[in-house]
Amino acid sequence: MSDIDTAADRLAAIEARIARAAELAGRQRGEIELIAISKTKSIDEIAPLVAAGQASFGENRVQEAEAKWPALLDRAPPPGSQGHEVKLHLVGRLQSNKAKEAVALFDSIHSVDRSSLVEALARAVDATGRRPDCFVQVNIGEEAQKGGCPIDDLTGLLSQARDAGLAVIGLMAVPPLAVEPAPYFALLAKLAKRHGLARLSMGMSADFETAIMVGATDIRVGTALFGTRR
């Protein structure tokens, strides 16, 4: 079996699981974006998934993405030729001093979580003329060591981001490990609804079906598509 078959097989298996979860939830498959999280994976590991038709990819570090994606985008089929164009998502913590590079490379940023970063991103949008979609990351389990804006600060951060001209489209969260994630997904959905945000970036390899049941629109799947990370 070639690498392309392997990538296509893995993608098809995840696609079938997404379709089934969407059906159980009474939702359309088209409401859910599958983001393939390719952090730590090499260009040679990622390219077969691009060739298999996967269009959205996520990375957690700006420098790693800058090292891999220009070459991968060169290889990606031209828009229209296979019906897809690659979109890049940043899902990891973003340092303010990398905001300009991030805005230049990524189509979506899922980790907007503090006031200083909103300011840096707004300056980067002005400087580059690019305006990526933004998700505000919420520290949904109120965990000391985790990224994300405290729930109590969400209203203020959202209005700051909107006033600064960022294209805020939704909320993102990573629930606490090793506990039932559904209540945290449900809380994120409630917060998004309260703030009039349509998109919910939640659900990873271990729990994306649960996330879909609770309304996820953007699921971030790494291990289940690429195998375990070294």
Ligand X SMILES: *Cc1c(COP(=O)(O)O)cnc(C)c1O
Residues forming the site for ligand X (CB under 6 A):
37, 39, 60, 91-92, 174, 204-206, 220-224
Longest dimension (CA), the chain: 52
**Which lies closer to ligand X via its Cβ, residue 77 or residue 147?**
147
- Of all residues in the shown chain, the one whose CB is closest to ligand X is 222
Strands 167-172 and 199-201: parallel
**Which lies closer to ligand X via its Cβ, residue 141 or residue 222?**
222
Tell me if 137 sits within 8 A of 147, measured CB to CB.
Answer: yes
Tell me if 73 sits within 8 A of 86, measured CB to CB.
Answer: yes
Tell me if 217 sits within 8 A of 31, measured CB to CB.
Answer: yes
Q: Nearest approach, Cβ of 191 to ligand X (angstroms)?
A: 18
**Which lies closer to ligand X via its Cβ, residue 127 or residue 177?**
177
Three-state DSSP at 89 gives strand
Q: Nearest approach, Cβ of 146 to ligand X (angstroms)?
A: 10
Q: Nearest approach, Cβ of 80 to ligand X (angstroms)?
A: 29
Ramachandran region of residue 178, left (φ > 0), alpha (ψ -120 to 50) or beta? left
Nearest CA to 207 among 220, 193, 225, 190?
220
Q: Nearest approach, Cβ of 111 to ligand X (angstroms)?
A: 7
Nearest CA to 171 among 150, 186, 189?
189
Q: Nearest approach, Cβ of 174 to ligand X (angstroms)?
A: 5
40's tokens: 């730590």
**Which lies closer to ligand X via its Cβ, residue 18 or residue 174?**
174
Q: Nearest approach, Cβ of 204 to ligand X (angstroms)?
A: 4
Three-state DSSP at 119 gives helix
DSSP string, 147-205: -SB-GGGHHHHHHHHHHTT-EEEEEE--PPTTS--HHHHHHHHHHHHHTT--EEE---T
**Which lies closer to ligand X via its Cβ, residue 92 or residue 141?**
92
Q: Nearest approach, Cβ of 11 to ligand X (angstroms)?
A: 14
**Which lies closer to ligand X via its Cβ, residue 31 or residue 64?**
64
**Which lies closer to ligand X via its Cβ, residue 164 or residue 187?**
187
